């Protein structure tokens, strides 16, 4: 249960400790059942399978072994993991630098505009991300929209290679996950107390100082949540990276996917998945710590 406590942020401070009434348990039941069925049980299965073996057809054989973990720490897979972490980090940073000003602008915009602006951020979600990724392929390909425009405008002499490059991977990831950065920061910005900013100016702070010492710390929970929401899914994302990167840079998500399919090696995939899960839990735990210190 300590895992859930960490993840959900329930702190065992003792102050609120009270025995829930049977009615409370009844109300909580659907949530607990959901958590058990779709979070705890699958996680346990993943961990159990990661210590198993498999036969020639890929069926799981329940013989206890550490082999999958030993193999997972081979430099090859670590390299793939690090490269995925690097892409995820880069994506998070770009999303932060692009998303923060947007979120700030929306959060400080006149009230009647905010709804519309937020809506514009969310509109892309109405279409499946796969379809939007295919749209990017049409735009970025060599004979695609962007290249034809740039060439006919005389900016480029011939079509540039944009699609199937690392640049395209990062573009795809940033495009897809940007709203996950904007929305949490927006909620923090919206709650900003104007009086504090004015006080900073009154006490002689310039715009830079007001921003770095007042606005940033006050919106930190939004930044942390946004960073988490972008970082975690972009590590494991494989559809965008293979479609826009051409599959030349294997990502950890793609490697795990292949273990469950063509590799016929679910236990090894499960071991890689468990390691990834551990990284996520650690990342969440660190953010949680960081937020507690504020």
Partner 1 sequence: MKKTTTLLLSALTAFLVGCGKAPEAKKLSVFCWSEYIPQSVIDQFSKETGIQVSVENYASNEEMLAKLTAGGGQYDIIQPSEYVVEALIAQKLLHPIDKTKIPNLSNIAPQFLKMGFDPDNSFSVPFMAGTVGIVVNTDLIKDDIKSFADVFKPENKGKIVVLDDAREITAWALLSQGLPINDVSDANLEKVKPVLANWLPMVKVFDSDSPKTALLNGDVAIGVVWGGEGAILLQSDPKFRWIIPAEGTHLFIDSLAIPKTAKNVDNAEAFMNFILRTDISKQISDAFPYTNPNLAARKILTEEQIRNKASFPSDEEMAKMQVFRDIGTQGSKVDELVTSLKAQ
Q: Which of 85, 93, 109, 137 binds partner 1 (CB under 8 A)?
A: 137
Would strands 60-61 and 53-54 be described as parallel, antiparallel, or unpaired?
Answer: antiparallel
Size of the site for partner 1 (CB under 8 A): 36
Q: Which of 225, 217, 224 is nearest to 197 (CA)?
A: 217
Please, which residue, 107 or 250, has the CB nearer to partner 1?
Answer: 250
Are the C-beta atoms of residues 274 and 52 closer than 8 Å to each other?
A: no
The yes or no reply on residue 43 touching partner 1 (CB under 8 A) is no
Distance from C-alpha of 169 to C-alpha of 106, rounded to nearest angstrom: 27
The yes or no reply on residue 142 touching partner 1 (CB under 8 A) is yes
Distance from C-alpha of 9 to C-alpha of 108, rounded to nearest angstrom: 29
The yes or no reply on residue 172 touching partner 1 (CB under 8 A) is no
Q: Which of 52, 80, 95, 102 binds partner 1 (CB under 8 A)?
A: 80
The yes or no reply on residue 233 touching partner 1 (CB under 8 A) is no
Radius of gyration in angstroms for the set of CA atoms belonging to the chain, rounded to a whole number: 23
Tell me which stretch binds partner 1 (CB under 8 A): 20-28, 36-44, 87-95, 136-144. 136-144
Distance from C-alpha of 240 to C-alpha of 243, rounded to nearest angstrom: 5
Tell me which stretch binds partner 1 (CB under 8 A): 23-31, 101-109, 239-247, 281-289. 239-247
The yes or no reply on residue 163 touching partner 1 (CB under 8 A) is yes
The yes or no reply on residue 264 touching partner 1 (CB under 8 A) is yes
Within 49-68, the residues that bind partner 1 by CB under 8 A are 54-59
According to DSSP H, which parts of 13-55 are helical? 22-35, 41-50
User: Cβ of residue 237: shortest distance to partner 1, in angstroms?
Assistant: 16
According to DSSP H, which parts of 109-219 are helical? 111-122, 129-140, 145-152, 166-190, 194-202, 207-210, 216-218
Distance from C-alpha of 187 to C-alpha of 104, rounded to nearest angstrom: 10
User: Cβ of residue 75: shortest distance to partner 1, in angstroms?
Assistant: 9
In the numeric block, the tokens 């991977």 are attached to 169
Tell me which stretch binds partner 1 (CB under 8 A): 76-84, 105-113, 180-188, 202-210. 76-84
**Residues at the contact surface with partner 1, assessed by CB under 8 A:** 54-59, 76, 79-80, 83, 137-138, 141-144, 159, 161, 163-164, 242, 246-250, 255, 258, 260-266, 268
């Amino acid at each position: 249960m300590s895992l859930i406590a960490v993840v959900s942020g329930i702190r065992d401070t003792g102050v609120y400790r009270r025995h829930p009434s049977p009615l409370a348990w009844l109300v909580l039941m659907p949530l607990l059942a959901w958590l058990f069925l779709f979070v705890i049980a699958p996680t346990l299965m993943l961990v159990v399978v990661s210590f198993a073996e498999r036969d020639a057809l890929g069926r799981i054989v329940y013989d206890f072994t550490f082999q999958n973990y030993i193999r997972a720490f081979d430099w090859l897979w670590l390299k793939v993991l690090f490269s995925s972490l690097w892409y995820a980090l880069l994506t998070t940073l770009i999303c932060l630098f692009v998303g923060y000003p947007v979120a700030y602008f929306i959060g400080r915009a006149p009230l009647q505009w905010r709804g519309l602006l937020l809506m514009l951020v969310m509109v892309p979600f109405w279409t499946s991300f796969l379809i939007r990724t295919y749209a990017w392929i049409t735009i970025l390909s060599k004979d695609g929209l962007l290249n034809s425009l740039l060439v006919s405008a005389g900016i480029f002499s011939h079509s540039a290679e944009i699609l199937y490059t690392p640049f395209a991977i990062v573009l795809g990831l940033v495009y897809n996950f940007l709203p996950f950065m904007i929305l949490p920061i927006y909620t923090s910005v919206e709650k900003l107390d104007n009086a504090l900013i004015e006080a900073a100016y009154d006490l002689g702070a310039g715009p830079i100082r007001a921003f770095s010492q007042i606005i940033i710390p006050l919106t930190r929970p939004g930044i942390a949540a946004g960073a988490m929401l972008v970082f975690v899914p972009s590590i494991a994302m494989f559809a965008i990276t293979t479609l826009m990167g051409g599959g030349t840079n294997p990502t950890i998500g793609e490697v795990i996917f292949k273990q469950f399919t063509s590799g016929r090696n679910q236990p090894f995939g499960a071991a890689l998945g468990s390691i990834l899960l551990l990284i996520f839990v650690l990342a969440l735990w660190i953010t949680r710590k960081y937020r507690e210190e504020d």
